[in-house]
Amino acid sequence: MMRLPRFRYHAPATLGEAAAILQGEGSQAMVVAGGTDLYPNMKRRHQTPKTLIGLRKIDALRGVKGSPARGLWIGPATILTDLEESALVREHYPGLYEAIHSISTPILRNMGTIGGNICLDTRCNYYNQNYEWRRAINFCMKCDGDTCWVAPGSDVCLAVSSSDTAPILCAFGARIQLVSKKGTRTIEAKDLYRRDGIDYLTKRSDEILAGITLPPAARWRSSYRKLRRREAFDFPVLGVAACVRFDGEIVAEARLWLGAVSMAPVEAAEAQAALVGRRLTEETIEEAARLAYPLAKPVDNTDFGLRWRKEMTRHFVREALLEVGPPGSPSGRGN
């Protein structure tokens, strides 16, 4: 049996208490909600925190509040299954629903939280291995070693942002609330991420993810398309998140984000711009896909070959936009 390393455990009942413990323990401490990302990592000795702070008892970190008209507040410790079952999410933020529904397996979604997925450790198949395996490659830059084995010349770790919710939250323009002993700050979801496989979050180690706010859903349509080998268990090797706001038939605003092709979600700015002011037709979609796919720069550290993954970006952007569809097309895409 693979066992967890030893640690001290705290289960505070309030956010303030949690922030205080975190501050007090310093970088030796980590917070844990569902544990589906952290515990496997700990069993493989990627992280061996001296102290774990469980967030399960903090009611203020759970739940979905608000309305499509005002926007939603989602507690980061909300279990993924509960979000899947939320009509607010499913009907008004279908792209988010699809992203959540595609995470791992139904059983894992009964345990994992959205905050956990947002903060998901970057992944790399030189990193996500047992301690003994990693010792055989003399470890890697991300943990216990110096070299990035994906690209030994690289001075930055190339581990992949593999969160399904990250690209869609970026596309929705979600805001993230971070709380620490020092106070609270709110940032754009896209500013949470950094293109560095090691230091992949701008969240400080003393900060706790305390809330996710989604803007009003009115007139936004959304979708999320995910590429992976199997329809369960597998992390994305590509995720395409699309949010489009229409003014009549015309695209008023478009947001297109790529997941799992870099160390952070990637915004396809040119493709977005190409859609604005036009109808969503086969032609405009094709153009957006053409503009988006050079941004995907997969490296050889996930399942599938990187060339094929890059090629698929074009196809999946097209699919995601087709799925969003123009207003009035088959519903379930939002408002």
Q: Which listed residue (14, 27, 67, 105) binds other proteins by CB under 8 A?
A: 105
Residues 6+ apart with CB under 8 A from 261: 160, 238, 295, 296, 297, 298, 309, 310, 313
10 Ramachandran zone, left/alpha/beta (phi>0; psi -120 to 50): beta
Min. distance of Cβ 290 from other proteins in angstroms?
14
In the bound state with other proteins, the residue whose beta carbon lies nearer, of 70 and 135, is 135
Min. distance of Cβ 46 from other proteins in angstroms?
12
CB–CB of 52/32 below 8 Å?
yes
Gap between the Cα atoms of 277 and 274, Å rounded: 8
Q: Which listed residue (24, 26, 106, 248) binds other proteins by CB under 8 A?
A: 106
Q: Does 1 bind other proteins (CB under 8 A)?
A: yes
Q: Taking Cα atoms as reference points, which of 58, 57, 193 lies closest to residue 119? A: 193
3-state secondary structure of 173: coil
Six-digit token string for 335: 């408002």
Pairing of strands 8-10, 51-54: parallel
Q: Does 87 bind other proteins (CB under 8 A)?
A: no
Interface segment toward other proteins; rule CB under 8 A; list 133-141, 181-189, 196-204, 274-282: 133-141
Binding residues for other proteins restricted to 247-276, rule: CB under 8 A: none
Q: Does 232 bind other proteins (CB under 8 A)?
A: yes
Gap between the Cα atoms of 254 and 251, Å rounded: 7
The DSSP symbol for 334 reads B
Q: Which listed residue (20, 21, 23, 40) binds other proteins by CB under 8 A?
A: 40
Interface segment toward other proteins; rule CB under 8 A; list 68-76, 131-139, 240-248, 291-299: 131-139
| Site residue total, other proteins (CB under 8 A) | 53
Interface segment toward other proteins; rule CB under 8 A; list 12-20, 103-111, 237-245, 273-281: 103-111
